[in-house]
Chain A
């Protein structure tokens, strides 16, 4: 897997969580996996990054329960504007946000706690699926 992603282009991920610690752990891990990682600590910040010209994200990972624009909001907005960008929702808040994330077309919903390697696998899968569809 790792060799494969290194050989291809460097993917750019947008990582959104209002928990600074989770953001730090996940971004450190994903950078080690040779992804370019941009972080946002809430949905509003994420939307600003998403809308700025130079940030063309290949995949988005978002927490669900956050202030201002929730993860469900982020997913809905992204899927309205750029439905091809895969989104992974991570949640530790029970069934309701999870159901809403699925309803708003998140590609995957991952329940906390999860293994980092599991996240890595899912990212690779979504990215390669997307690449195959593109070409």
Chain B
């Protein structure tokens, strides 16, 4: 197998190094505020309900994708979800080797449009699509009202 590895490092040639420095805060909005406060204070997930379409959206938002209605009602998400898809990542967010590998899952909840993407707190061997899971939240004092208040999904007790 030749020609598989190529140099992509242009820094070895004449060039000017620079960057585009930019810092932000990302406001979570009305629906995000409701969700993250409930997550921080009560350790539970909320969805936004469209009564016209009969859809509960996770992540919650204040507009319905289907009918464009404004959504004002928030409802609890069932505690137990199901792994819809998973991947074992052998690289971390920078591209460096992840050791041990990370397991990431997209989890859906019965009767809910959407779901959540997060770590799956299981070894690659034990992780499989279709498995039942629930969120593990950080201890109350460690929560700040962000998605990181969730440590990940862990296998539901009933299937342990």
A complexed with B: no
